[in-house]
Amino acid sequence: KTVCDLNLSSVLMNSNLVHRADSFFLATKMAAPLTLLLIVAVTIRAVLFRSSWAELISERVEVVSPLNAWKRVVEGLALLDLGVSPYSGDVFHETPFMIYLFHFVVDYAEIVFMVSPDLVFCLSRFLTSLKQKYALESDRYPADCLELLRSPKEMFYIPLKVAMFYLLNPFTILSCVAKSTCGLNNAIIALFILCTLKGSALLSGILLALATYQSIYPLTLFAPALLFFLQRLYIPVNLRRSSFWFFTLQYAFIYVGSLVVITGLSFFLLGSWDFIPSVYGFIFSVPDLTPNIGLFWYFFAEMFEHFRLFFICVFQINVFFYTIPLSIKLKEHPVFLIFMQIAIISIFKSYPTVGDVALYMAFLPAWSHLYRFLRNIFLVSCVLLACSALFPVLWHLWIYAGSANSNFYYAITLLFNFGQILLVSDYFYAYLRREHHLTHGLYLKKKDGTEATLVLK
């Protein structure tokens, strides 16, 4: 190692220590801009709530899905008041915990309630980002990578940017104004990430169980959370080591145990297991083919019954399939793995909405240092913007004007998902490339001295 390196590492370690002590002060220093941001966000939402757009937005299929629509929640609670199980009749697909939560809140303070997931989310994002930077520093980088590393100054504003990206994201605003319970699911996932990064295995397991209980797909976040804890506790990920299995079993026990406890508790709420086919059966078997921004509806609308089961299995496996390869590739970078997993869930889940998209988009400022390695960012942003604009247009043309048909909307859905996949894979490429540069130097030279190009195989 060069002297430069030692200096670098010492500087970094010092700064780490300083930062550890200063995190609290940092938080207070950022309190003012954060408060301003919060006020702006709440104002926007309040204005939209009171306008006539609220009704319009709460009916848009891009924003609400059969799983998290507010009017279904109201319907389910009304059924409950009439003495009928809310799960009868394919109206209500929320979990019993939601029933319990909304039972008290449904008549009043719904606006405050809707804002609070955003608050929780941005708060947890905020704290997450604060914690996160510790994971990025490492002291074995070659000297010319100085410019790749992020200086504390840059990273100072990341939490604020993350909060801004989430709170002021039009997708989030739409999702909040529509009173979709997607915001709550996002808040639980955000709290889970916060607890994971803070190192509390118990809370993290419990929150992950809660997130899985809400919609099954966060199950894939078990692997990155496990990897993070293993990394934190300096347990090598070696399948032959007993310490690895010991911790894995501990974590799995917490996770599965709390899942069982939560499911058992929800049985006691209504006294029946109705919610399992209504919620999880619904998510897995996709009976409702209302168009949304996902890929399931069109396929299954045109599919013959004969093949339906096969393709359901294929599509659902597609969500869970990327966990193992990504975990293997990113086992030293669990935080990025969490981001990738969330993105994959948002793209490939059975009933995605723009709230799910906003969830992983909020993460993007945390990887702002990858900007120089992104190759398709212009294309992706254009695609996403154009598709977001075209969704309501083509919907109107299809449903109201009658001059288009479902293929038009499906094309935009395809393009939107293509844009998302391109975004995610671009960030993945950028991340891997940065890691490569960090280990091999930034300006790579071929054997004869000319500049080398890096190809992702």
Partner 1 sequence: MNYCNLITIFAFINLLVSIPHGYSNYVETKAGQFFSSGHTNNWAVLVCTSRFWFNYRHVANTLSVYRSVKRLGIPDSHIVLMLADDMACNYRNPKPATVFSHKNMELNVYGDDVEVDYRGYEVTVENFLRVLTGRLPPSTPRSKRLLSDDRSNILIYLTGHGGNGFLKFQDSEEISNMELADAFEQMWQKRRYNELLFIIDTCQGASMYERFYSPNLMALASSQVGEDSLSHQPDLGIGVHLMDKYTFYLLEFLEEVHPASQANMNDLFKVCPQSQCVSTPGHRTDLFQRDPGSVLITDFFGSVRKVEITKDTINLTSPVEPPIKRSGSSDIQIESLTYVDQLPVAEIIHQKPKQKDWHPPDGFILGLWTLILLVFFQTYGIKHLKHIF
Q: Contact residues for partner 1 (CB under 8 A)?
A: 77, 80-83, 99-100, 103, 200, 202-203, 206, 261, 265, 268-269, 271
- Nearer of residues 62 and 94 to partner 1, judged by Cβ: 94
Residue whose C-alpha is closest to residue 358's, from 205, 160, 134, 163 = 163
Q: How far apart are CA 162 and CA 339, in angstroms?
A: 13
Q: How far apart are CA 89 and CA 63, in angstroms?
A: 23
Question: What's the min distance (Å) between Cβ of 296 and partner 1?
Answer: 33
Question: What's the min distance (Å) between Cβ of 77 and partner 1?
Answer: 8
Question: What's the min distance (Å) between Cβ of 261 and partner 1?
Answer: 7
429 exposure class (CB count in 10 Å sphere: 0-12, 13-18, 19+): middle
157 exposure class (CB count in 10 Å sphere: 0-12, 13-18, 19+): middle
- Nearer of residues 17 and 265 to partner 1, judged by Cβ: 265
- Nearer of residues 76 and 294 to partner 1, judged by Cβ: 76
**Per-residue tokens: 323:** 């966990």
Question: What's the min distance (Å) between Cβ of 201 and partner 1?
Answer: 10
- DSSP summary character for residue 451: B
Question: What's the min distance (Å) between Cβ of 270 and partner 1?
Answer: 9
- Nearer of residues 261 and 301 to partner 1, judged by Cβ: 261
- Nearer of residues 17 and 84 to partner 1, judged by Cβ: 84
Alpha helices in 271-333 (DSSP H): 275, 282-285, 296-301, 305-321, 323-329
DSSP string, 41-90: HHHHHHHHHHSTHHHHHHT-TTT--TTT-HHHHHHHHHHHHTTS-TTTTS
**Per-residue tokens: 353:** 């909405």
Question: What's the min distance (Å) between Cβ of 262 and partner 1?
Answer: 9
Question: What's the min distance (Å) between Cβ of 334 and partner 1?
Answer: 21
**Per-residue tokens: 13:** 């370690």
SS3 286: coil
Q: Indicate the Cα dihedral angle 273, 274, 276, 282, nearest 10°.
A: 170
- Nearer of residues 81 and 147 to partner 1, judged by Cβ: 81
Question: What's the min distance (Å) between Cβ of 272 and partner 1?
Answer: 12
SS3 219: helix
- Nearer of residues 237 and 270 to partner 1, judged by Cβ: 270
- Nearer of residues 83 and 402 to partner 1, judged by Cβ: 83
